[in-house]
Structure 1
Amino acid sequence: MAIDLCNKSPATVAENNPGAWEDTVPAETEPILLDDLNVDQRDALNFAYRTTLSSVDPRFVAGDPAAWSSDFGYALNNVAIRLDNRTNEELREQALAHPDPAMREQALFEYADRDLPDAIELLEQAVLHDRDREVRWDALWAIEKLGGPHAVSTLHKFVRDTDPEIAEWSGLFKSELQTGDPAFDGRSGLFTPGRTFDETIYLLIHCDLYVRLDDSNQHWGKLSLAPQGLARLFGQAHACPNVATRERQLVIAKTIDGLHADGSPHCDNYLFRGFTDRTRRDRGNFFFESLVPRTFFKSGHADDPSEGTRQAQIGFARYGTWHLEPKFQVHDEPAIRYVRGRFQGWGYVNLARIAGQPMQNILTPGNGVLSTLHDSEIGHMTNAFILGTFKGKLNDWDNDGVIDLNSRDVYSTVDGEIDMNQDGVADRPGLTCCDHTTLLP
């Protein structure tokens, strides 16, 4: 999340002297003028610009500070120490050469989060040469987060990549930087009837984990989690909307691989409810919340009851915008092609478990749990503030040239209950997360 703040202050912009856009963006890129934007796009860009300035220095804004200077995450980012103590040289080496793609990606995002002057160049090398396509498109996202004309020109280099997903992601991110809105390619889409959900959208999630290091509230630690590292810790998430109900509810279905001894995926589903603004026909702006029963593991590791457990209600919030694709029709309605937004919640990190450990030992399946401040027994253990951004678009997962709307395997009913055989019926009514005491059928 804090990567988005890099290079955004007026002082940094002046010091770096990025030059004119036309000197950085390739000549073949058609400029998009402010006058060419519609009213909503102009408002969005002006709001984003004012918000960024206000987060950096109150001298550059006017108005009530309660509206622009109350970002808890930004305040923590200014004072937190990094829990990843690798040197910059180690990060550069591991970003390109570590055998584990999740660790390569984690090094890339940590390097970018440090706001180092050659961060975009390192990310570009990963996009050019990495063998893992997810590392490549996540590196493109990190380039967008750094922003500016250098990012636009770098993203432009990949809009004709031989991998259609890399090409579309780079064009999408570039368009967001230039206009505030995403742009898509012309591929057709495939809807599979008979599935529980109309869409299963694979989410990229980047977050900052701010950990309170003692009871004085004066010492904080920070871990910037790249999408694959976060998925390894907390689960790979899919947004699962149905056309009939998507404006008021959806399921976020998560799975963690490598947690259960028998090799089965650990399933962790969240039913979100909220409001959606549909004053524009091509998109929806939403604010959703979830409150689900969960087993809290006092060890700080999912499925490890060695230090005791507690049944608790865990809350989470997500808000953002989804963009519709008129060409992709589901039940006579356009499908959601792309979603982006922010999220926040609470967690527990067992500091004794991670102290002195190398990053590959920290980023292991389930090595961190969500938490709550409202439980009488475990509320005091909550020590992590989690916030970040997410993006997800429909992809072509079988490389047949057609985008898949709902082909991903997610183990949930429409109400978030575990459904391992994906028949739409709960394996055990009311159970929304794998029960560590028994194996599901």
Structure 2
Amino acid sequence: MAIDLCNKSPAGLAERDPGSWEHAVDEPALLEDLGSEQRDALNFAYRTTLSNVDPRFVAGDPAAWSSDFGYALDKVAIRLDNRPNDVLRAQALNHPDPVLREQALFEYADRDHSDAIELLVQAARQDSNRELRWDALWAIEKLGGPEAITALRKFLADDDPEIAEWAKLFISELQTGDPAFDARTGRHTPGRTFDETIYLLIHCDLYVRLDDSNQHWGKISLSPQGLARIYGQAHACPNVATREKQLVIAKTISGLHADGSPHCDNYLFRGFTDRTRRDRGNFFFESLVPRTFFKSGHADDPSQGVRQANIGFARYGTWHLEPAFQVHNEPAIRYVRGRFQGWGYLNLARIAGKPLEEVLTPGNGVLSTLHDPEVGPMTNAFILGTFKGKLNDWDGDGVIDLNSRDVYSTVDGEIDSDQDGVPDEPGLTCCDYRTQALI
């Protein structure tokens, strides 16, 4: 999430040349050259853009613009990833593991070097990993500015339609605040548990309290694939009939169970949605689920004891509807974006001095809570970040798939390994470590 703050602090805005917008537009036009309808449209776009301005840079009550805990921590936290910049650049392009290539890219972008966009473009052009390519485009959007728009335009005609659409979407968000999409058709598969299974890109920062004085903080910035490796790949799973008040976030961690089966970790979220606009919904949802807390700091590792606790998490943002994609006579959600926050526990003794290859491993970090007498004192990480999810064509047939992704959850978040809508065990929302052996 801190990448979003790059180039946007008051000091950074004062010291850095933001570049000329004439390099980000095809044919600059003078205001007096525009017709009345064009000027009206421009004024409307301007007013719309004002609603997206970071409140930290708007005069007013500091309680409204200077009270972001993550923003405060980002200014004082030390980086727990201390690799030199030249090592990051080399690993971003050449590491054999795509997750670690992407992690190096996001760490480098978070450091806000002047050549960050250049490196991201190079990776997005040449990398063989599809997800790394679109995640690199997202990092370019996060850095923002005219240079980002110019860079993203290079991918509008990409051979991969998903890369091209992500580029189109990110450019539109930078220019207007709203996403834009291509004209592909969509396909809904009837008879599945969820009307949509939206693959989520999640970028987050973990701010870790390093001692009891509250004066020393560390920071780990996780790329989307890095986060998915540790905490699981997430899908947002709404149903049209209930999406304004609840949905399931279904997560699976690969490589945690010895038998190769996915580790399922489902969260039922409930909340409010504002539907004053037909084309979107603004939401604030919370989840509170029972979980086994592993005092080792590693999922499914009970070697240092366990504790049953209720884990809370919050997510809020906006989903955008696509009238061309109809499900039960209602427009489907084509795109969702937002923020999230919660608490976690990192066993610092477990990761201290270890190379990143041994840190970014399945389950090597657990969510936590402050509201438990045993777990609360162990909680040492504030987790926050941003997420985006778009419907994609997963089978390459040129048609966007609404709900083809395999998710192992009932509508209430219970584990459903055969996806028949019936829970494996009523009330069980996360794999039971006692029946699964840790690798």
TM-score past 0.5 threshold:
yes
The answer as to whether partners of 2:19 and 2:147 remain within 8 angstroms in 1 is no
Partner of 2:110: 113
Other structure's SS at 1:49 match: coil
CA distance in 1, matches of 2:231, 2:54: 33
Other structure's SS at 2:435 match: coil
Counterpart residue identity of residue 20, structure 2: A
The answer as to whether partners of 1:158 and 1:170 remain within 8 angstroms in 2 is yes
2:33 paired with 1:36: no
2:348 paired with 1:343: no
Distance 1:125-1:31 versus aligned 2 partners, 3 A rule: farther
For each residue in 1:244-265, what CA deviation from the matched residue of structure 2 results, as whole angstroms up to 9, or x when unmatched? 0000000000000000111100
CA distance in 1, matches of 2:100, 2:377: 32
Partner of 1:13: 13
Counterpart residue identity of residue 151, structure 1: A
The answer as to whether partners of 1:249 and 1:273 remain within 8 angstroms in 2 is yes
Residues 111-260 of structure 1 correspond to what in structure 2 (within 5 A)? 111-260=108-257
The answer as to whether partners of 2:315 and 2:340 remain within 8 angstroms in 1 is yes
Q: Which residue of 65, 70, 79 maps to 1:82? A: 79
2:29 paired with 1:46: no
CA distance in 2, matches of 1:230, 1:356: 20
CA distance in 2, matches of 1:184, 1:244: 25
Q: TM-score, normalised by structure 1?
A: 0.95
Partner of 2:263: 266
CA distance in 2, matches of 1:195, 1:43: 42
2:288 paired with 1:291: yes
CA distance in 1, matches of 2:218, 2:294: 21
Distance 1:418-1:168 versus aligned 2 partners, 3 A rule: same
Q: TM-score, normalised by structure 2?
A: 0.95
Deviation at 1:11, TM superposition (A): 3.4
CA distance in 2, matches of 1:181, 1:315: 30
Deviation at 1:360, TM superposition (A): 1.3
CA distance in 2, matches of 1:31, 1:259: 59
2:428 paired with 1:424: no
Deviation at 1:42, TM superposition (A): 4.2
Deviation at 1:377, TM superposition (A): 1.3
Other structure's SS at 2:303 match: coil
Deviation at 1:358, TM superposition (A): 1.0
Deviation at 1:43, TM superposition (A): 4.6
Other structure's SS at 2:195 match: coil
Deviation at 1:17, TM superposition (A): 1.6
Residues 399-418 of structure 1 correspond to what in structure 2 (within 5 A)? 399-418=396-415
Counterpart residue identity of residue 346, structure 2: V
CA distance in 1, matches of 2:201, 2:96: 21
For each residue in 1:300-357, what CA deviation from the matched residue of structure 2 results, as whole angstroms up to 9, or x when unmatched? 0000000000000000000000000000000000000000000000000000001011
Deviation at 1:126, TM superposition (A): 0.5
Partner of 1:57: none
For each residue in 1:2-28, what CA deviation from the matched residue of structure 2 results, as whole angstroms up to 9, or x when unmatched? 000000134323422233201x21526
Deviation at 1:50, TM superposition (A): 4.4
Unaligned runs of 5+ in 1: 54-60
Deviation at 1:30, TM superposition (A): 9.5
CA distance in 1, matches of 2:81, 2:163: 29
Q: Which residue of 71, 88, 95 maps to 1:91? A: 88
Deviation at 1:182, TM superposition (A): 0.2
The answer as to whether partners of 2:338 and 2:386 remain within 8 angstroms in 1 is yes
Cα-Cα RMSD: 1.7
Unaligned runs of 5+ in 2: 32-37
For each residue in 1:91-119, what CA deviation from the matched residue of structure 2 results, as whole angstroms up to 9, or x when unmatched? 00000000000000000000000000100
CA distance in 1, matches of 2:401, 2:313: 28
The answer as to whether partners of 1:288 and 1:319 remain within 8 angstroms in 2 is yes
CA distance in 1, matches of 2:399, 2:299: 37
For each residue in 1:141-190, what CA deviation from the matched residue of structure 2 results, as whole angstroms up to 9, or x when unmatched? 00000000000010011011010000000000000000000000000000
Other structure's SS at 1:304 match: coil
Distance 1:379-1:205 versus aligned 2 partners, 3 A rule: same
Counterpart residue identity of residue 6, structure 1: C
Other structure's SS at 2:383 match: strand
Poorly superposed stretches of 4+, deviation over 3 Å? 28-35, 41-44
The answer as to whether partners of 1:250 and 1:273 remain within 8 angstroms in 2 is yes
Distance 1:30-1:294 versus aligned 2 partners, 3 A rule: farther
CA distance in 2, matches of 1:196, 1:34: 47
The answer as to whether partners of 1:8 and 1:52 remain within 8 angstroms in 2 is no
Deviation at 1:62, TM superposition (A): 2.6
The answer as to whether partners of 2:297 and 2:346 remain within 8 angstroms in 1 is yes
Partner of 2:351: 354
Percentage of pairs with the same residue: 79
Partner of 1:56: none
2:31 paired with 1:27: no
Distance 1:179-1:30 versus aligned 2 partners, 3 A rule: farther
For each residue in 1:214-248, what CA deviation from the matched residue of structure 2 results, as whole angstroms up to 9, or x when unmatched? 00000000000000000001000000000000000
Q: Which residue of 378, 383, 389 maps to 1:381? A: 378
CA distance in 2, matches of 1:93, 1:330: 46
Other structure's SS at 1:410 match: coil
The answer as to whether partners of 2:248 and 2:267 remain within 8 angstroms in 1 is yes
The answer as to whether partners of 1:200 and 1:407 remain within 8 angstroms in 2 is yes
Other structure's SS at 1:79 match: coil
